[in-house]
């Protein structure tokens, strides 16, 4: 089985690229983030024409997550237990479209779009940390209840866990993605018993998954590694290889992220 995760940064803008990627790479399950489309406008038909089932959670033109599977798609849920909501000033808390999970061919796959954080003192940063901690707590509970479960938590985590995961650590001082608090919250998933398999199989430096559109970041390889795959022990043991599909950042109209693929033995 081949499982991939990809922040497409607007599915409507990159629908053909996404469909071509599925055709070329023969992915069995694709987790998408930042679809930026409401459920009623999600373009399911082209995926179904390729033999895929689709589950999507989107409320408006922001966020949005989806699972595209040709090996089954059951028990769909659009939030993990304890997932926090975000409250904008003067408004009640609202659960954002940042998580969707389903059972796909014997593997429970979650597509996750972790909040950005915006700035260290921004309320969105507290939201980001709460999101990661709640995700780790839910993962720990599920693993404790079923140690043999095959679970993949994949997506855009918006955290660079190591200094080598950004092109210039000094450029991120005082900003988001590399702070001690964010890294600690990200590491809580490992403490819960999950393994980040992309690092296990691709341990090198300068292996980025996101490059900003500005300042020639991609040609200079000035990127970040923020797209990951945390797997339960039973699934992590079955991962044969991981690939970062760097070529998807090339060409006309790419996303700023590229897919990360897991090959399951």
pLDDT of the residue at 80: 98
Q: What is the CATH number of the domain that holds 49?
A: 3.60.10.10
Rg from Cα positions in the chain: 17
Query: Which residues of the chain fall short of a pLDDT of 50?
Result: none
pLDDT of the residue at 116: 98
Q: How far apart are CA 172 and CA 241, in angstroms?
A: 31
Structure tokens at 28: 């069995």
In the chain, DSSP assigns E strands to: 2-7, 29-33, 53-57, 65-69, 74-77, 99-104, 107-113, 151-156, 195-196, 227-231, 239-244, 260-264
Compute the half-sphere exposure of residue 228: CA atoms within 13 Å on the CB side of its CA.
25
Residue 235 structural domain: 2-264
How many structural domains compose the chain? 1
Each residue's pLDDT tens digit, 166-199: 999 999 999 999 999 999 999 999 999 999 999 9
pLDDT of the residue at 258: 98
pLDDT of the residue at 215: 84
pLDDT of the residue at 234: 98
pTM of the entire predicted model:
0.98
pLDDT of the residue at 24: 98
SS3 89: coil
pLDDT of the residue at 91: 87
pLDDT of the residue at 104: 98
Largest Cα separation within the chain, whole Å, is: 50
Q: How far is residue 53 from each of residues 36, 48, 105, measured CA to CA in Å?
A: 19, 6, 12
């Amino acid at each position: 089985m081949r499982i991939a995760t990809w922040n497409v940064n607007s599915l409507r803008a990159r629908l053909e690229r996404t469909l071509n990627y599925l055709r070329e790479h023969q992915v069995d399950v694709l987790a998408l983030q930042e679809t930026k489309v409401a459920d009623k406008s999600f373009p399911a038909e082209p995926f179904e024409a390729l033999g895929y089932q689709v589950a999507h959670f989107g409320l408006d033109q922001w966020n949005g997550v989806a699972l595209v599977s040709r090996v089954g798609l059951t028990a769909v849920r659009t939030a993990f237990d304890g997932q926090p909501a975000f409250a904008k000033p003067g408004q009640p808390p609202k659960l954002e479209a940042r998580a969707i999970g389903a059972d796909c061919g014997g593997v429970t796959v979650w597509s996750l779009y972790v909040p950005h954080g915006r700035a260290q003192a921004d309320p969105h940063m507290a939201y980001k940390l709460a999101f990661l901690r709640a995700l780790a707590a839910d993962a720990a509970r599920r693993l404790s209840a079923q140690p043999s479960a095959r679970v993949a938590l994949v997506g855009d985590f918006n955290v660079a866990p190591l200094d080598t995961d950004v092109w210039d650590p000094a450029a991120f001082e005082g900003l988001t993605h590399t702070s001690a608090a964010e890294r600690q919250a990200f590491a809580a998933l490992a403490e819960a018993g999950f393994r980040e398999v992309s690092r296990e199989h691709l341990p090198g430096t300068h292996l980025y998954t996101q490059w900003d559109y500005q300042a020639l970041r991609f040609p200079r390889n000035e990127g970040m590694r923020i797209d990951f795959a945390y797997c339960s022990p039973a699934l992590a043991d079955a991962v044969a290889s991981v690939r970062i599909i760097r070529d998807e950042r090339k060409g006309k109209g790419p996303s700023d992220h590229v897919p990360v693929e897991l090959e399951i033995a």
